[in-house]
Amino acid sequence: RPAALSAATANLRKRGFLVARGHVIETLSNVNRVIFDKTGTLTKGKFAVAEVKPFAGVSQSEHELLGIAAALEAGSNHPLAAAFHPWQDVFKAQDIKQITAAGVEGRIGDQLYRLGTAEFAAADCNRSLELPDALHTWLLLANSQTPLAWIALVDEVRPDAAPLIQRLKAQGIAVELLSGDQSGAVAQLAHQLGIDDYVAGAKPGDKLSH
């Protein structure tokens, strides 16, 4: 039995699975529900900028807006940050702060900027904002006075995700998607992969309690 568990653990490691506790392998046959994260699990976790929607009256160009976003994301290892690498040398930000499940803020010159969820980025703007659509992952870029632009990011779905979901469901195993992303993007992916149960906007603590 110990030899079998060691061999199974080694084989799983070669396939990209990290087994943290030995009893996991012994109880796999009893699994009746699998809960997936979204980014980097069912998707490749490699984001790219798909669209920039400046607000009316904004003087900065699209290149400058993306440069501000890139400066705020400089040094971050979050999957979303990589989408802004092409604009990372446009500006330099100071006093950068990462706020879990909300976004990032920092100063460029004398101006404070925020990038992240609408609630977080526009917290000082006294404006209620709706997402442009439910098809993309949208980030809001704002300064302390006004929202500047919506930035849409896309993440490619892993080609083996749909077949995996189908195999699990065929075995009678319930499948659920639990993500911190906004509801539209989560709902679209769930529909695309045939996942009936999904939760969006879940913060790290929410995922743990779930």
Active site residues: 37
* Burial 70-95, CB ≥16 within 10 A → b, else e: bbbbbeeeebbbbbbeebbebbebee
Element (H, E) at 198: strand 197-199
Q: Tell me the Ramachandran region of residue 40: left when phi exceeds 0, alpha when psi lies from -120 to 50, beta otherwise.
A: left
Q: Which two tokens stand for residue 150?
A: 């919506």
Amino acid at 166: Q
Question: Which residues pair with residue 177 across a beta bridge?
Answer: 36, 198
